[in-house]
Amino acid sequence: MAMDEPALADAIRRQEERLQRDPGSLAFAQLADLYRKAGRTREAVTLCRSGLARYPHYTTARLILAKALAAEGELAHALAETDAILALAAKDVQAHRLAAELHRRLGRVDRAVAHLETAVRLDPGDRESRSLAALLRAATPQGEDASGLGRVLADDTFATAAFGALCLEQGCVEEAAQVFTRILRRDPDNGPAREGLETTLRARQRRKG
């Protein structure tokens, strides 16, 4: 459960005091994570990098750094941190989940699916990763299996960000995702498709409540 602002501010103050008493402790990671949750992402990045200079194998701090970098929009740098974590701990489920998110936001749909599938293998109870992987890898139905909309989606003429947005406006979340992922498999740098996919996933999350 997320902390309210007064509780978060109090937790930050206590961790700052703790770190002042023992500057060489691992408490920097907890403080950096609190900074991140408070929206102080640049301070979180600075603190993590300072701490990791002393404890380069502290994967928890590196994951916090990756999350803070992602929040700053520095996706490639965040991905470099998840890669470093997985080089040390290939079975780190949280790192696979974050790597999946970063690859997805960079338009690399198949790499995102690969990390989600690994997360599910490592944690079979991870229903969200399983569901998201299924959505991202879904192929457009062909032939007799295709509905009317499915037959339209199978036509490359309609594999456009504008058509994906239209599907989303009509509440066809899965179909919108199919359009955007199809575009991104051809062109990972397609900005409108990348943004469209993220908008679709947010709509999907709101629908799930």
pTM over 0.75: yes
Contact of 109 with 136, CB cutoff 8 Å: yes
What is the model's pLDDT at position 2? 61
- Express each pLDDT in 72-117 by its tens digit: 999 999 999 999 999 999 999 999 999 999 999 999 999 999 999 9
The pLDDT of residue 10 is above 50: yes
Superfamily designation of domain 1-85: Tetratricopeptide repeat domain (1.25.40.10)
Contact of 38 with 8, CB cutoff 8 Å: yes
Residues above pLDDT 90, as percent of the chain: 82
Tokens of 4: 């309210």
Distances (CA, A) of 45 to 3, 49, 96, 164, 167: 21, 6, 20, 35, 38
What is the model's pLDDT at position 208? 78
What is the model's pLDDT at position 143? 44
All structural domains of the chain with their residue ranges: 1-85, 90-137, 143-208
